[in-house]
């Protein structure tokens, strides 16, 4: 499916990002030279290296792109995919710059990619590829806690990030902040609780908050709130699964889920946790109890629903299928799942798109928290959990004495318990997504000429980046 849709791309991915940039730049009061500086990538590193696979040697193609250094370090994931190319990595790096600006995370944007299909290699080979790639980044100064900080992306996860951290530490054994060279690591190796589900949870927080505005929902032809909303999710990987899980737990009805090789639907709703177990055991979504299968995974995108969450790869909604989309709201979980040409069709139809550069920023937000944890060398909640619990206990005891009423043990425990790391991470992520949405919403509704939320998000990002350049003294 991904390969077929790749061939249908209206134009290059980076050109799509440039189109969005140019559309938004009209609403930004800034020097044209500064806007040109922001638009294009600062550093592009392309490398090929040999890796032994069985009894032969394969030459692996890989990239790391740093889009903007208006703030350092740069930040962005590393994806493993046979479709990786320079254009894609440049586009994703640019999106990271704007994403970080929107959610006030102090990084420039970057991205990396290795052109392999990870399903075709053993863990031992993947480790050799990952460590060699990290070595190449070290040699060219494209990685470091104050330089460039990778993270997981499509086809990678905690395991690969642990290999990267270990390889970096081998080169810099005396670097006390070495673990800050990469985020998305396992908890025992400097990771942070909540990072795994962060992107999916951020999607949930963003959509939930958007649907609290009754006047907006009325204009969109939707009722406020998540409960009862019919949702289709494309992608049952880390992002799609957690988004579906949080929506499901909030009372939404997951009517359709698609993966790269299969897709199923049910008007009675699908439990994403049970479906994921089935997929891991069977290798397909087909045959899951209570569901029917789509003829092709792409058909799931066209299924009637309130909210469509494309959380797989870019270019999934394009000029050929946009007219068939029957969702009222598209929540972009993936990077660039809707092409500009498709967006024009959807906007004309009245479909609302909450854009990727805001909505999937939960990952980089919690990565920022992990980076801070690595630099501070202390777990979130360690200093304040017991203290806050003691304060809350005194408050509850005083209330009981003053009122003469007893609070049940269960209620008391819920009130007095101090925040641990995951509670603080969730709270920080929720605060970030709510604040960022409100700024975008303000620009969307109150800037004359802006017709879609993506343009509003780009305007917000560009204004913040321009301000950063101004503070750097580049221009008065």
Using the structure block, give the residue that is written with the tokens 């009805």.
253
Distances (CA, A) of 81 to 15, 117, 233: 20, 5, 21
Beta-sheet strand order (sheet of 253-258) = 292-293, 263-265, 253-258, 230-234, 305-310, 327-331, 352-354
Average pLDDT, integer, range 161-188:
97
Higher pLDDT, 380 or 210: 210
Return the pLDDT at 396: 86
Return the pLDDT at 410: 83
Poorest-pLDDT segment among 9-23, 112-126, 130-144, 422-436: 9-23
Q: Which residues are paired to 114 by β-bridges?
A: 62, 80
Please tell me whether residue 186 adopts helix, strand or coil conformation: coil
pLDDT in tens, 30-41: 999 999 999 999
Percent of the chain's residues with pLDDT above 90: 86
Return the pLDDT at 313: 83
142-171 as b/e: b if 16+ CB within 10 A: bbbbebbbbbbbbbbbbebbbbbbbbbeee
Return the pLDDT at 267: 96
On the question of pLDDT at 1 being above 80, the answer is no
Distance CA 361, CA 182 (A): 17
111 is catalytic: yes
Return the pLDDT at 473: 60
DSSP assignment string, 195-252: STTHHHHHHHHHHHHHTT-HHHHHHHT--SSSTT-EEEEE--SHHHHHHHHHHHHTT-
Confidence band (pLDDT; 50, 70, 90) for 6?
very low
Active-site residue identified among 71, 75, 111, 185: 111
Return the pLDDT at 414: 78
Poorest-pLDDT segment among 25-34, 122-131, 292-301, 389-398: 389-398
pLDDT in tens, 227-260: 999 999 999 999 999 999 999 999 999 999 999 9
For the record, the structure tokens of 395 come out as 């408050």
Return the pLDDT at 3: 43
Average pLDDT, integer, range 191-209:
97
Return the pLDDT at 8: 46
> pTM for the whole thing?
0.91
For the record, the structure tokens of 199 come out as 């992107």
DSSP assignment string, 263-288: EEE-TT---HHHHHHHHHHHSSSTT-
Contact of 257 with 263, CB cutoff 8 Å: yes
Domains detected in the chain: 48-189 (3.40.50.10860), 192-384+419-476 (3.40.50.720)
The DSSP bridge pattern shows strands 230-234 and 43-53 to be: unpaired
On the question of pLDDT at 4 being above 80, the answer is no
The DSSP bridge pattern shows strands 327-331 and 305-310 to be: parallel
Cis peptide upstream of residue 469 (ω within 30 degrees of 0): no
Confidence band (pLDDT; 50, 70, 90) for 476?
very low
Average pLDDT, integer, range 312-325:
93
Confidence band (pLDDT; 50, 70, 90) for 78?
very high
Task: State the chain's mean pLDDT as an integer.
Answer: 93
Distance CA 80, CA 155 (A): 5
C-alpha 301, offset from chain centre = 20
On the question of pLDDT at 131 being above 50, the answer is yes
Return the pLDDT at 474: 55
Higher pLDDT, 385 or 354: 354
C-alpha 366, offset from chain centre = 10
Confidence band (pLDDT; 50, 70, 90) for 316?
very high
Which residues are within 8 A (CB) of 362 and not within 5 positions of it... i.e. 6 or more apart?
198, 199, 200, 201, 202, 203, 205, 206, 429, 432, 433
pLDDT in tens, 95-107: 999 999 999 999 9
Element (H, E) at 38: helix 32-39
Beta-sheet strand order (sheet of 108-114) = 43-53, 56-66, 108-114, 74-80, 148-152
Using the structure block, give the residue that is written with the tokens 């992990």.
370
């Amino acid at each position: 499916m991904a390969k077929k849709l790749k061939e249908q791309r209206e134009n290059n991915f980076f050109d799509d990002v440039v189109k969005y940039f140019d559309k938004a730049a009209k609403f930004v009061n800034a020097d044209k030279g500064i806007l040109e500086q922001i638009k294009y990538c600062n550093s592009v590193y392309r490398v090929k290296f040999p890796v032994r696979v069985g009894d032969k040697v394969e030459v692996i193609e890989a990239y790391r792109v740093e889009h903007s250094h208006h703030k350092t370090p740069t930040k962005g994931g590393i994806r493993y995919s046979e479709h990786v190319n320079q254009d894609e990595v440049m586009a994703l790096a640019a999106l990271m710059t704007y994403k970080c600006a929107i959610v006030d995370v102090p990084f420039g944007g970057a991205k990396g990619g290795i052109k392999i299909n990870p399903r075709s290699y053993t863990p031992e080979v993947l480790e050799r590829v990952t460590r060699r790639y990290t070595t190449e980044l070290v040699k060219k100064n494209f990685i470091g806690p104050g330089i460039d900080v990778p993270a997981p992306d499509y086809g990678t996860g905690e395991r690969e990030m642990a290999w990267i951290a270990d390889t970096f530490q081998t080169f810099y054994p005396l670097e006390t902040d070495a673990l800050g060279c990469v985020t998305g690591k396992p908890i025992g190796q400097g990771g942070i609780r909540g990072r795994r589900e962060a992107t999916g949870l951020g999607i949930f927080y963003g959509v939930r908050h958007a649907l609290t505005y009754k006047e907006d929902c009325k204009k969109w032809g939707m009722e406020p709130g998540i409960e009862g909303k019919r949702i289709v999710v494309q992608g049952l990987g880390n992002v799609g699964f957690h988004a579906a899980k949080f929506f499901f737990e909030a009372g939404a009805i997951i009517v359709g889920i698609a993966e790269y090789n299969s897709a199923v639907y049910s008007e009675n709703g699908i439990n994403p946790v049970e479906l994921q177990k089935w997929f891991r055991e069977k290798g397909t979504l087909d045959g899951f109890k209570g569901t029917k299968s789509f003829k092709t995974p792409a058909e799931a995108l066209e299924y009637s629903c309130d909210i469509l969450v494309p959380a797989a790869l870019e270019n999934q909604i394009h000029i050929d299928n946009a007219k068939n989309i029957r969702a009222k709201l598209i929540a972009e979980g993936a990077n660039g799942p809707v092409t500009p040409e498709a967006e024009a069709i959807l906007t004309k139809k009245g479909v609302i798109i909450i854009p990727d550069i805001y909505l999937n920023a939960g990952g980089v937000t919690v990565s920022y928290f992990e980076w801070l944890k690595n630099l501070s060398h202390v777990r979130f909640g360690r200093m304040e959990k017991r203290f806050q619990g003691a304060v809350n206990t005194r408050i509850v005891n005083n209330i009981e004495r003053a009122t003469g009423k007893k609070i049940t043990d269960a209620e008391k425990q819920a009130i007095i318990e101090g925040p641990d790391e995951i509670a603080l991470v969730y709270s920080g992520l929720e605060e970030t997504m709510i604040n960022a949405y409100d700024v975008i919403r303000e620009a969307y509704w109150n800037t004359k000429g802006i017709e879609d939320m993506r343009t509003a998000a780009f305007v917000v990002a560009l204004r913040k980046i321009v301000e950063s350049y101004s503070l750097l003294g580049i221009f008065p």
